[in-house]
Amino acid sequence: MNYLAKDYASFRQLILDRLAHIMPDWKERHVPDLGITLVELLAYVGDYLSYYQDAVATEAYLDTARQRISVRRHARLVDYVLHEGCNARNWVCVTTDTDMTGDRALKPQSIYFITNVRDAQESTGQFSQRMNCVTCRRIFYEVFEAVVDRPIELIAAHNRIRFYTWGERECCLPRGATSATLIDRPATPPVDTNKATQKQRLLSSNPPSTTTLDKLNLKRGDVLILKRCSVPDWSAADADPTIVMPFA
């Protein structure tokens, strides 16, 4: 008996050698023969069981486990709960020339992001028709969905926010800096199209203030990306593109 037999070919040869020892008169080796068919069937089953034994031995130890479910079960033995993980995700920068807030905010369920747009010059109707085609979508585009569950507000002033240098010609953040002054742009007060409300404001003794509003409208939880640019033309020719510092 050859105890080193672990695959289909070695199992097949082992069975044929055993049959030649106990059945010396049987010398048929053609594939259509019933005996050869049974030998190959047993060799296939042995190959499958051998692979199963190797897989069980591999997944039985944390250092050699290859499947996530095996690692999660090992972690549960020491009262550690392994996170189930999530799909791959990435940041998307959206540039806009119009503020889309409030009722005009984008609904995550009604938008999607695509990559590899080859025909950028085609009309909107042709592009929409191709996007609705499942076969075309698989060939030409990769579709991604937004992971947020709240309306997405877009503000034009957030496209590029510059630092206020306080008179310095070269704006440099020192190592360990935790704050900086940003340049805000004045916003136009909202226009109320309701004639009844406009008349009420005109008759009111305390009309609303017409001072400029906060255009940036930054709030807790917003993510700002710091990008190195050369001063004073704010071009990225002399900047190091590998240094990108995100902070919330």
58 is written with which tokens?
């591999």
> What is the DSSP code string of 30-80?
-TTSHHHHHHHHHHHHHHHHHHHHHHHHHHTSTTT--SHHHHHHHHHTTT-
Helix 8-22 and helix 34-59, axial crossing angle in degrees, nearest 10:
130
- Of 134 and 46, more confident: 46
Q: How far apart are CA 57 and CA 49, in angstroms?
A: 12
Tens digits of per-residue pLDDT, 171-210? 677 788 888 888 886 544 444 555 555 445 444 444 444 3
Is the preceding peptide bond at 232 cis, omega within 30 degrees of 0?
A: yes
- Of 21 and 139, more confident: 21
SS3 152: strand
Q: Is 70 exceeded by the pLDDT of residue 28?
A: yes
6 is written with which tokens?
């672990």
| Share of residues in the chain with pLDDT > 90 (%) | 17
pLDDT at residue 229, rounded to an integer:
67
| Share of residues in the chain with pLDDT > 70 (%) | 68
Q: Is 70 exceeded by the pLDDT of residue 130?
A: no
Q: What is the arithmetic mean of pLDDT over 106-113?
A: 85
